[in-house]
Amino acid sequence: MMPADHSTIERAAWLRAELARHDHAYYVLDAPTVPDAEYDRLFRELEAIESTHPELRRADSPTARVGGKPLAQFAPVRHRIPMLSIRTETDTESSGAQAFDARVRRELGLDETDPPVEYVAELKFDGLAINLRYEHGALVQAATRGDGETGEDVSGSVRTVRAIPLRLLGSPPPVLEVRGEIYMRRDDFDALNARQLAAGDKVFVNPRNAAAGAIRQLDPNIAARRPLSFFAYGLGETEGWSLPATHFGVLDALTDFGVPVCKHREVALGADGLMAFHGRIAELRDALPFDIDGVVYKVNSLALQRQLGFVTREPRWAVAHKYPAQEALTLLRDIEVQVGRTGAITPVGRLEPVFVGGVTVTNATLHNQDEIDRKDVRIGDWVIVRRAGDVIPEIVGPVVERRTGDLPRFNLLERFPTCPVCGSHVVRGADEAVARCTGGLYCPAQRKQALLHFAGRRAMDIEGLGDKLVDQLVDAAIVKTPVDIYRLGILALANLERMGDKSAQNLLAAIDKSRNTTLGRFIFALGIRNVGEATARDLARHFGSLDALSEADETRLQQVPDVGPIVARCIVEFFAEAHNREIIEQLRAAGVRWEEGEPAVMPAGALAGKVFVLTGTLPGMSRDEAKVRIEAQGGKVVGSVSKKTDYVVAGAEAGSKLVKAQELGVDIVDEQGLLTLLAQST
């Protein structure tokens, strides 16, 4: 074998240093600098060099250890049985299972005539590996993996994880070490980041990072405030226990002891069983409530595991079979924007093409300006891109250490002061995350949504003009603005798919009928942002005419009940766009009429003047029914909670409105409480 040349020696040294730096950032600092796929690529390159040139192997090489070192602040814990890593199958297709099965059969001396090997197939969780030591059923110590030989004593933090039992059920052995993964559910992670953002604190890159950071806190109270979970997947040291004959039996026994074990596990026969499991989990992966980066296969028989033994520091009887990487590293070339159906302006990163999640990605969402600022993403950065299944790719964050020069920060409103689709002004409310195009009636990007809203039952009430028909009319360029609805003729409609003469006549009759409406309905039909049905009626009562409303400034608008600064600003911005005023005049010219100077309707009943907000799902009535019954007794239903709100009616899965009501001290009632109020008013 030829000795390594100078360039190979230098490359191996660089790879060792680079991987050690990433290990330190990931395991010790809890601040990953590269996606997993990039780390794996560097690791495999170093493995290949050391395999070809064994003289380059060093004791401190990342390939010779599991990774990470104990933090100096924590007491070291020597693992009685090392916490070793398992081999990763680099073939991310189902054929990787065949390769593992072939190796196992070869090591066991099996041929084609022998029956299939029995395996256990499990999930590969994306969390923090932990060893839980129970003595006589009580949790006495929890330690991280560390370098596999020595970990960190994190007992204080781990005791705060509710999923981990402090005492085992049944009759556990005198000593039982349970090994598993501490992780964070995706919904818990999203809620945690929302709280962090609201408090002005840093947000976390991913659930794994948040979980690891929580456990490595010297103050257990910090871990207690983070929603952590746990799954067991194996054993460490045991004493005084007659082990089950199989790994699956071990998992069942742990379940009996009250230890959480993931339900997504099964006994699989041979390569075919493993491939089937790999495929099923691939389809299920994005629907799981937690992150995984692959599956794990283990020979089920513990006797066969002992027979197979280990190679270097990895068991021959187990393998991690990953899926295509969901994160990758690439260059952010530019930031552009997309205009959504409701006018939302979404910044989109234009990327150097990169293969991630099984496809080549060239664009990734940046969500909004706040996200760009929080992540400090700049054009010209190297960024981590994440794609999970069919989810739109997103930019997780920049690799700041690779930033060259003083790259300018991105400001959406400076770069795009007007809508790139229609030229209307782009605005962003002071308390809103999303910037929006103000050309609602005019902007082609918002056309279908604006038309559906305009024709809705509570707006112009054009019966028969629904989603499918609007799609056909817009796609055929027959209708571009609401005015075009009133210019439709029988020939244009009759030529559409599934539109016969009778249906066309019925639609034209409904359109003609809608020409006579009320001012409140017409204001609501315009689709002014944050102006709901009740607010539209209030505006009609207060101003009496559309001309008076369109000329009002923010101060005058705020004299209307429940119209605050945000709603007032939205109304002013809408009428400031010449496109919108022109369409209103064209609608008038098309014969759309309403009564000006509508008399105010004085509320009657015991709920007169009371303001209600509905949130969540009521068990016995829909929100529409509740609204009708409240308004029939003189009450008013609005969309947001304020100091003027009298009651919040909260059903199942009530959200932020309930929280706001609690903060403001607003009376909160359930459906039964609402029925009691309604009964008092009759």
- Residue 124: active-site member: yes
Coil/strand/helix, residue 142: strand
Which is catalytic among the residues 124, 610, 636, 657?
Answer: 124
CA angle 245, 251, 253 (to 5 degrees): 75
The token pair at 576 is: 């400031």
Give the separation between CA 491 and CA 525, rounded to whole angstroms: 27
Give the separation between CA 94 and CA 125, rounded to whole angstroms: 19
For residue 607, give the nearest of 631, 627, 628 by alpha carbon.
631
For residue 264, give the nearest of 100, 86, 88, 121 by alpha carbon.
121
Question: Residue 593: what are its φ and ψ, rounded to 5°?
Answer: -135, 155
CA dihedral sign, ordered 199, 203, 206, 210: negative
Question: Which residues are bridge partners to 593 per DSSP?
Answer: 516
Amino acid identity of 645? Answer: T
Question: Residue 14: what are its φ and ψ, rounded to 5°?
Answer: -65, -45
Q: Are 19 and 26 in contact (CB under 8 A)?
A: no
CA dihedral sign, ordered 51, 55, 59, 61: negative
CA angle 249, 91, 293 (to 5 degrees): 60
383 by Cβ neighbours in 10 Å (0-12 / 13-18 / 19+) ranks as buried
Coil/strand/helix, residue 329: strand
Question: Which residues are bridge partners to 78 per DSSP?
Answer: 150
Residues 6+ apart with CB under 8 A from 664: 641, 642, 643, 645
Please list the active-site residues: 124
